Structure 1
Amino acid sequence: MARQVVPARETRRIDRLLWMLRLTRTRGAAQDLVCEGHVRVNGRRVLRCSQAIAIGDIVTLPLGEMVRIIEILDLPSRRGPPVEASAQFRDHTPGVNASVSQEGEAS
């Protein structure tokens, strides 16, 4: 009998992912957020910068005066321009999407 090989899920380190998605200015700032216990993945607090993040994970983190809730849609291979970065996650933060859709309706 042949064994079935289960493909491994592709993942990224959380500190690197936050930096690549342009949610933090530097990777060091992302590491500080994680190590201080401010970031949650799928509702669980993350304390290691090496925590693996995969497509479909929900990440909650404080940015500025608000708490952002994002769903990972794709894992970036590089830190690209802001438009490319924002296409790789969906923002579930209350009030953020409502203001964007209202602007679109006003046009």
Structure 2
Amino acid sequence: MERQRLDKWLWHARVVKARTSAAALVEGGHVRVNGIREKAPGHAVKAGDVLTIGLDRNVRVLKVKGFSERRGAAPAARALYEDLQPPGLPKPPE
């Protein structure tokens, strides 16, 4: 798999609890892909893309490292991305 829908990737990476929440997050303009605001949940992301996500008064910066066919446990979800959170900012609770 080389690409995956943005909403599906956010759900598989456990950024949100439900795929519908992921779609709403994207449609609401709270997700940027490589610095460009994305409003289409079906936008395809690829390995190396950097996602900036505004979520619950926090900003998460994640680099896409891989994809999953299914939503798995938290350790498997963390393998899908690299957290690029700037130093000095608190990391959101997991």
Whether TM exceeds 0.5 here: the answer is yes
- Partner in structure 2 of residue 39 of structure 1: 31
Of the two, which has the highest radius of gyration?
1
Kindly indicate whether the alpha-carbon contact (under 8 Å) linking 2:3 and 2:47 is maintained by their aligned counterparts in 1: yes
Q: Residues 36-79 of structure 1: CA distance to partner in whole angstroms, max 9, x if unpaired? A: 11100000110111100000000010122310000011111210
Determine which of 73, 77, 80 is the counterpart of 1:88. 80
- Partner in structure 2 of residue 64 of structure 1: 56
Structure with more contact order per residue of length (Cα contacts < 8 Å, sep ≥ 6): 2
The alpha-carbon distance between structure 1 residues 36 and 94, as it changes in their structure 2 partners (threshold 3 A), is same
Aligned amino acid, residue 26 of structure 1:
A
% of aligned pairs identical?
35
The alpha-carbon distance between structure 1 residues 80 and 54, as it changes in their structure 2 partners (threshold 3 A), is same
Determine which of 18, 22, 45 is the counterpart of 2:14. 22
CA distance in 2, matches of 1:96, 1:79: 31
The alpha-carbon distance between structure 1 residues 87 and 40, as it changes in their structure 2 partners (threshold 3 A), is same
1:12 match: secondary structure: strand
Q: Report the RMSD for the aligned CA atoms in angstroms.
A: 2.0
Aligned amino acid, residue 45 of structure 1:
R
| TM-score normalised by length of structure 2 | 0.88
CA distance in 1, matches of 2:21, 2:84: 22
In the alignment, structure 1 segments of 5+ residues that lack a partner are 1-8, 100-107
In the alignment, structure 2 segments of 5+ residues that lack a partner are none
CA distance in 2, matches of 1:23, 1:31: 12
CA distance in 2, matches of 1:18, 1:98: 20
- Count of residue pairs brought into register by the alignment: 91
- Partner in structure 2 of residue 104 of structure 1: none
